[in-house]
Structure 1
């Protein structure tokens, strides 16, 4: 073989390799590329060690509803028993570091929790959300023009009607679930998780006024619920929690954030739909419809976060009846995470994206948007999170389509390179 022929063959092979390499997704070629360039994570945050079963991230989780899946979770009176030592250690470390304010527990003597003398619920050091005091970083408002769908208290027997409706409308929502309800109504949980692929968030284990609870009781209410969600979603760690009755303060909020990495979500409009099934309801379907009309046809700044429940057939109906009005008035309807174009879990973008092992903290799986977009305002003095310009497609769908396109292009270009190499060899020989 002449040197010219050998050189031509080598050149053709190199061209083919270069073409193939150019069509390979760097995330596929190097799995760590995706993490190193697109993820910000806090390795020092203790939450990444708090919810591993068996001490590693590669465990096969028990099927939802099986005896092994339910084993070890407390009955309500036993909430404090057998609490993992890792949770307690993380709490005590946060207290020792001065990250948990020394605020006394409240008592219930009226419609709102009462603090001891000397503790003003509107003061910066207490800042009770029951008294409408907003802590910077908590989410109360949505971005302008955005309506965030979230539902409390599920899963419950009325929930499947809501889930079917959301799926029919191809709409995702955030479900703030009660831990003990997940345990009891696991079939409904499977529907919203496996079929609807909605976002799952924390609404405590027993639905108490959280400021009436000690530090350890707050820890148990949040921790057990997070553990069950983690075990039921392939290892996802929830990112959001909503305090029952909207009751939180700087102490409770700090435990949620510092120990468990949770962001507190409240609301800026309240339907009172939770009372529809009470013997003496505080509202009616007609009253809720009137409120919805006012909110949905009114100003779009700030965006709406409406308190709604999957608690009763009536509360579900109140939402479904307002749907056409939401759509016709041009609201961008999204889950809590989608309204800010951020991740729904601390270690995964959503229900269908991969789970990042031991990569917990402030995570951004997607690259930043190409152009500036409106911001998700927690409140007037809080930080801001980029808002999506519309309802984002599930990342796994885009990734799958892109991978398919790259594979087809790679195959075509590889054969083209071989053809060029063959012609070159024939000419030179």
Structure 2
């Protein structure tokens, strides 16, 4: 009852916010505007790569203070019971490890590193719909991206790019090349690419918020809707902060190409090569279509990019429908815009009933993981090696590729947008 009263008070305080769909900007009272303010009084943004653009972001995140608006949003969500009390992990033998006695597969932790899926909410995505491939790449923008972007453009292929904030900041020309193709969806992969469960709540706010900020400022004000945790490392605390502070939906994957490991001789699972990664991709793209594929791939090196390019014809020849992550989910690309060419709009958030706001993540007790959707080739991501106290397997962006239990509840796009923006207004 107290929470409902507080929500009603805040809704009355802010009132209804509605603007014309033709307006690219948010009114000052809009909650998204409060989190990500325009850079100057005229509503303009510095040109990507300019001195003013570069100076707007920190050279050292460790000495950066969390902006007051982000901290207020976090505090209000925390006080509302939306963000669990869960201590950060520590790195043991190269793996994020919980304190003794904490079960990473329990409902109160639900570590995605350990393949626990948070069930019954729309805050975490693992699978594409049947017959679809969610095309996505991690870790850009980087020099090898200049091979990938022309290929995607030539083939009119939409894709989601989970960008690292520092890589955007350090490679503005390459970043702009991606922005110049309206089919490319820009999403969040944190600012410095840490294991997210090792971060404090304040560090999580900076890792996510700064990356959202640079994308927002560089796309005319679009606010990303999707993010992917580096190494696939998240839990109920990390997912809740991403969702209830920034309205970010967490995207994991159901197959790991291990392309990031090509040539790496230090991993106990063996040496991955162009051939072994290509074999894995071929196996999945010629295999069953249920569930649909979200494959972990990278624009990290020439090898990773070429593995995608060399197997790309298999998408069409095997009848897959290949789109960006939000497109296969039939959702808008951004919180405030359908895609890169649609106008930015502000929903009438106060008109959305409080009941539409999703409950905090509360996964049931995990059940044994089902068999993978297809048999992996030799050297595939199905191999696991125990390491550290928690016994997780080492990986660049996740520590296993077996499917976890559970499924994602289906909610319409309109309901999800209303719920997301309604939850934002509760915090101010």
Structure 2 Cα separation of the partners of residues 359 and 267 of structure 1: 33
- Given that 2:188 and 2:227 are in contact with CA atoms closer than 8 Å, whether structure 1 keeps it comes out as yes
1:335 aligns with 2:324: yes
TM-score, normalised with respect to structure 2: 0.73
Q: Could you say what secondary structure the match of 1:208 adopts? A: coil
User: Considering only CA atoms, is the larger Rg found in Structure 1 or Structure 2?
Assistant: 1
Structure 1 position 280, deviation (Å): 5.1
> Given the alignment, which residue of 296, 304, 319 partners 2:293?
304
- Given that 2:39 and 2:45 are in contact with CA atoms closer than 8 Å, whether structure 1 keeps it comes out as no
Structure 1 position 145, deviation (Å): 0.1
- Given that 1:145 and 1:300 are in contact with CA atoms closer than 8 Å, whether structure 2 keeps it comes out as yes
Structure 2 Cα separation of the partners of residues 98 and 300 of structure 1: 39
> Given the alignment, which residue of 53, 64, 73 partners 1:69?
53
Structure 1 Cα separation of the partners of residues 348 and 299 of structure 2: 32
Is the alpha carbon distance of 1:280 and 1:84 closer, same or farther for their aligned partners in structure 2, counting shifts above 3 Å? Answer: same
1:356 aligns with 2:336: no
Structure 2, unaligned runs of 5 or more: 1-17, 353-403, 414-428
Is the alpha carbon distance of 1:301 and 1:362 closer, same or farther for their aligned partners in structure 2, counting shifts above 3 Å? Answer: farther
> Match of 2:307?
318
> Match of 1:181?
167
- Given that 1:209 and 1:247 are in contact with CA atoms closer than 8 Å, whether structure 2 keeps it comes out as yes
> Given the alignment, which residue of 383, 386, 406 partners 2:409?
383
- Given that 1:145 and 1:303 are in contact with CA atoms closer than 8 Å, whether structure 2 keeps it comes out as yes
Structure 1, unaligned runs of 5 or more: 1-30, 36-40, 364-377, 388-429
Structure 1 position 380, deviation (Å): 3.5
Q: Could you say what secondary structure the match of 1:155 adopts? A: coil
1:52 aligns with 2:41: no
Structure 2 Cα separation of the partners of residues 324 and 250 of structure 1: 38
Is the alpha carbon distance of 1:386 and 1:261 closer, same or farther for their aligned partners in structure 2, counting shifts above 3 Å? Answer: closer
> Given the alignment, which residue of 93, 109, 116 partners 2:92?
109
> Match of 2:373?
none
- Given that 1:143 and 1:340 are in contact with CA atoms closer than 8 Å, whether structure 2 keeps it comes out as yes
- Given that 2:182 and 2:340 are in contact with CA atoms closer than 8 Å, whether structure 1 keeps it comes out as no
- Given that 1:148 and 1:335 are in contact with CA atoms closer than 8 Å, whether structure 2 keeps it comes out as yes
Structure 2 Cα separation of the partners of residues 360 and 319 of structure 1: 41
Structure 2 Cα separation of the partners of residues 85 and 260 of structure 1: 14
Structure 2 Cα separation of the partners of residues 49 and 74 of structure 1: 20
Q: Could you say what secondary structure the match of 1:384 adopts? A: coil
> Given the alignment, which residue of 255, 258, 273 partners 2:241?
255
- Given that 1:151 and 1:174 are in contact with CA atoms closer than 8 Å, whether structure 2 keeps it comes out as yes
1:230 aligns with 2:216: yes
Structure 2 Cα separation of the partners of residues 217 and 193 of structure 1: 28
Structure 1 Cα separation of the partners of residues 296 and 351 of structure 2: 26
- Given that 2:164 and 2:192 are in contact with CA atoms closer than 8 Å, whether structure 1 keeps it comes out as yes
Number of equivalent positions = 335
After TM superposition, the structure 1 = structure 2 runs for residues 16-415 of structure 1, keeping only pairs within 5 Å, are 46-54=31-39, 59-76=43-60, 78-136=61-119, 137=122, 138-276=124-262, 278=264, 282-357=271-346, 380-385=406-411
Structure 1 position 83, deviation (Å): 2.8
Structure 2 Cα separation of the partners of residues 187 and 361 of structure 1: 40
**Deviation >3 Å, runs of 4+:** 31-35, 43-48, 277-282, 357-363, 378-381
- Given that 2:264 and 2:272 are in contact with CA atoms closer than 8 Å, whether structure 1 keeps it comes out as no
Structure 1 position 62, deviation (Å): 1.1
- Which stretch has the larger CA shift, 338-347 or 303-312? 338-347
Q: What do you get for the CA RMSD once the two structures are aligned?
A: 2.7
Structure 2 Cα separation of the partners of residues 382 and 140 of structure 1: 8
- Given that 2:138 and 2:300 are in contact with CA atoms closer than 8 Å, whether structure 1 keeps it comes out as yes
Q: Could you say what secondary structure the match of 2:294 adopts? A: strand
Is the alpha carbon distance of 1:359 and 1:109 closer, same or farther for their aligned partners in structure 2, counting shifts above 3 Å? Answer: farther
Structure 2 Cα separation of the partners of residues 379 and 229 of structure 1: 33
TM-score, normalised with respect to structure 1: 0.73
Is the alpha carbon distance of 1:166 and 1:100 closer, same or farther for their aligned partners in structure 2, counting shifts above 3 Å? Answer: same
Structure 1 position 359, deviation (Å): 6.7
- Given that 2:19 and 2:346 are in contact with CA atoms closer than 8 Å, whether structure 1 keeps it comes out as no
